[in-house]
């Protein structure tokens, strides 16, 4: 079960990253070009929200079956165990919170430029956090790093 969940979680990240990049780039261009906020902008942010929450569910399942997640006294002394138990979880939750806030709060704005700006800023920060978390794992963004 652990291996299957790991492969699913690791593979699904590409969908999340592609959607996140699409939202960030589309919202940046919309903001800079003062474009109309279109239905595709709304759909992309919705698909991103759904994908990140599905990834969260998979990650939470993995969190409770992973041998790398341990709640004992040496957890904070071992960098690998600390990363998987505390750091990865915290960084990803923060990124998902930012993506969720971007999705919810942009709908309350009336200006198309403000909607694009809100989506860009919050999702760009979320993207930076996710990329940092993936790189900190030592697994690489595209091709897994092998030791």
Question: In the prediction, which pLDDT does 147 show?
Answer: 45
* Percent of the chain residues past pLDDT 90, beyond the cut: 65
Question: In the prediction, which pLDDT does 7 show?
Answer: 86
Q: Mean pLDDT across the stretch 87-108?
A: 96
Q: Which residue has the higher pLDDT, 68 or 109?
A: 109
Q: Is the pLDDT of residue 70 over 90?
A: no
**DSSP code per residue over 17-85:** HHHHHHHHHHHHHHHHTT----HHHHHHHHHHHHHHHHHHHHHHHHHHH-TT---SGGGGTSHHHHIII
pLDDT range class, residue 19, cuts 50, 70, 90: very high
Is 20:130 a contact under the CB 8 Å cutoff? yes
Question: In the prediction, which pLDDT does 98 show?
Answer: 98
Question: In the prediction, which pLDDT does 50 show?
Answer: 98
Among 2, 58, 18, 6, smallest CA distance to 141 is for: 18
Question: In the prediction, which pLDDT does 142 show?
Answer: 67
Predicted TM-score (pTM) of this structure: 0.89
* Angle, alpha carbons 118-135-14 (nearest 5°): 65
Is 126:98 a contact under the CB 8 Å cutoff? yes
Question: In the prediction, which pLDDT does 4 show?
Answer: 87
100-104 contacts: CB < 8 A, separation 24 or more?
Answer: 100/49, 100/52, 100/53, 102/45, 102/126, 103/45, 103/46, 103/48, 103/49
Of 24-38, 75-89, 96-110, the least confident: 75-89
Q: Mean pLDDT across the stretch 66-95?
A: 86
Question: In the prediction, which pLDDT does 46 show?
Answer: 98
């Amino acid at each position: 079960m652990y291996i299957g969940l790991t492969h699913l979680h690791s593979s699904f990240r590409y969908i999340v990253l592609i959607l996140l990049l699409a939202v960030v780039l589309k919202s940046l261009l919309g903001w800079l070009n003062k474009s109309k906020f279109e239905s595709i902008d709304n759909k992309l942010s919705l698909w991103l929200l759904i994908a990140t929450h599905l990834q969260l569910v998979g990650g939470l399942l993995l969190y409770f079956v992973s041998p790398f997640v341990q709640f004992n006294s040496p957890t904070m002394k071992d960098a690998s165990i600390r990363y998987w138990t505390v750091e990865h979880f915290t960084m990803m939750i923060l990124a998902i919170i930012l993506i969720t806030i971007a999705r919810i709060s942009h709908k309350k704005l009336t200006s198309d430029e403000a909607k694009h700006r809100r989506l860009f800023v919050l999702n760009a920060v979320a993207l930076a956090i996710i990329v940092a978390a993936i790189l900190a794992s030592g697994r690489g963004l595209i091709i897994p790093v092998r030791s």
